[in-house]
Amino acid sequence: MSRRAATAATALLATSLLGLLSPGVASAATPPPTATPPAGTPLTEDATTASSDTVVRADGARTLTLYSGPVRMQRPAASGGAEWVPVDLTLRTDPDGVVRPVAGPHDLTLTPTGPSVRYAGGGSAAVVWPTALPAPRLAANRAVYPQVAPGWSLDVEATRAGFVASIRKDGTPTGPAPALALRGAAEAVPDPALDGRTGMTEAESAVSRVVAAEKPAGAAPVPFDTTVQTTIRNTDTSGEPELRIGSYDGVAVARSYLTWDVAQLAGKPIGSATLEVFQGWSASCKARAWEVRSLNPGAGPIGPALRWANQPAADAVRATSTDTRGNNAACAPGWTSVDVTPLVKEWAAAGTTAGTVQLRATDEKDPLSWKRFGSAESPNVPRLTVTMP
């Protein structure tokens, strides 16, 4: 991905030449990143990157959208050279019988032997199943292999950095759950919780879980997003498809950090700035406040080494919201937006190159404060939309 070492155009072109990519179709959950306002005119392709796009509106104002991860990739164009296509993690069965994403940054394949990924920057990871797996049920970026053992299913989720695999109950088990083992490079395998569960969420149904993700490039990659949590002490969670905030039991607490490349805003007048995140789950439909905070001056780098114990102070509240989505049909999953114009104006005036915010619950001891947002690895990448008059 753009915040990782391996989503350079050269590697993506090589993947395309292997015949592993098809014409890109944007995820239904995330609008095509190059979509413009009806009256807008796109800037030249030079203004398009893997994690940003810019359009010029009819009145001459510019709208810049920055993403916390890659939303597009390059592949060979029919006329020669390269063209941008949206990243689309939707899984489908290709003519050779192998399941692949429509257009993914890495070479992810799902076969009867299990999921495997070859990273664009080199290296690989795989879950090797001891027997032939049944045909999976496909839905968006997920594949479910039912009854891989009596009462257990294997679930695989395609991400922008690799995949997540988990063993879950599927009926009434008649024996122990199969153990998952990841071969090759993995960015994150969750720490065991003190109670023996994964410690990731309030109702984690996976009894075994592994995350295969290409490691981020450098100590402070940009763009970037991640979660720190009191029950996850030694693991980089930036390969996870979710950002988490709040508490699910009044004890465990999670906060999330997002960084964008805002160098091109330096010295520019800012009209407005909006942070948008996709809220996929909440502890209930009851409104619970959450906050966007800026980091204190002199904060250390935000990157794969970030943990709860070494997170920087973030004392200034820049925006609040009580929007709560994802628990049931009454508060269905959806996008949430907050106004962060004053903060982005400060970044532009100061010439900030990497702008970081912290997301956290207002009351971190409230079990109903727990929320999960799509991360840069998910089909719904957090975005910062800035207008410049």
Residue-wise pLDDT for 162-177, tens only, equals 999 999 999 999 999 9
Q: For residues 135 and 119, what is the distance between their CA atoms, to the nearest angstrom?
A: 25
Q: What pLDDT score was predicted for residue 22?
A: 32
What are the percentages of helix, strand and coil residues in the chain, rounded to 5?
10, 40, 50
Q: What is the mean pLDDT of residues 50-54?
A: 94
pLDDT band at 28 (very low <50, low <70, confident <90, very high): very low
Q: What pLDDT score was predicted for residue 46?
A: 56
Structure tokens at 312: 């920087």
Of 33-47, 197-211, 289-303, the poorest mean pLDDT is in 33-47
Q: What pLDDT score was predicted for residue 331?
A: 97
The torsion of the CA quartet 32, 138, 100, 91, rounded to 10 degrees, works out to 0
Q: What pLDDT score was predicted for residue 59?
A: 83
- Cα radius of gyration rounded to whole Å, the chain: 21
Of 169-173, 205-209, 335-339, the poorest mean pLDDT is in 205-209
- Position 50 pLDDT exceeds 90: yes
How is residue 180 annotated by DSSP? Answer: P
Q: What pLDDT score was predicted for residue 48?
A: 84
Contact yes or no for 125/212 (Cβ under 8 A): yes
- Position 323 pLDDT exceeds 90: yes
Q: Which H helix or E strand runs over 120?
A: none
pLDDT band at 80 (very low <50, low <70, confident <90, very high): confident
Q: What pLDDT score was predicted for residue 78?
A: 85
Q: What is the mean pLDDT of residues 242-257?
A: 96
pLDDT band at 185 (very low <50, low <70, confident <90, very high): low
pTM over 0.75: yes
Q: What percent of the chain has pLDDT over 70?
A: 83
Q: For residues 372 and 73, what is the distance between their CA atoms, to the nearest angstrom?
A: 26
Q: What pLDDT score was predicted for residue 223?
A: 97
Length of the chain in residues, anyone? 389
pLDDT band at 27 (very low <50, low <70, confident <90, very high): very low
Higher pLDDT, 328 or 10: 328
pLDDT band at 201 (very low <50, low <70, confident <90, very high): low
Q: What percent of the chain has pLDDT over 90?
A: 74
Of 124-128, 195-199, 352-356, the poorest mean pLDDT is in 195-199
Higher pLDDT, 20 or 108: 108
Higher pLDDT, 180 or 300: 180
Higher pLDDT, 7 or 337: 337
pLDDT band at 5 (very low <50, low <70, confident <90, very high): very low
Q: What is the mean pLDDT of residues 147-175?
A: 95
Higher pLDDT, 204 or 48: 48
pLDDT band at 7 (very low <50, low <70, confident <90, very high): very low
For the chain, what is the mean pLDDT?
86
Q: What is the mean pLDDT of residues 1-29?
A: 37
- Position 326 pLDDT exceeds 50: yes
Q: 362 — phi, psi (to 5°)?
A: -65, -45
What 3-state DSSP class applies to 82?
Answer: strand
Number of C-alpha atoms within 13 angstroms, CB side, residue 37? 16
Long-range contacts made by residues 314-321, C-beta under 8 angstroms, separation at least 24? 314/357, 314/358, 314/360, 317/291, 317/292, 317/293, 318/291, 318/292, 318/293, 318/294, 318/342, 318/343, 318/357, 319/275, 319/291, 319/292, 319/343, 320/289, 320/290, 320/291, 320/292, 320/362, 321/289, 321/290
Of 122-131, 180-189, 273-282, the poorest mean pLDDT is in 180-189
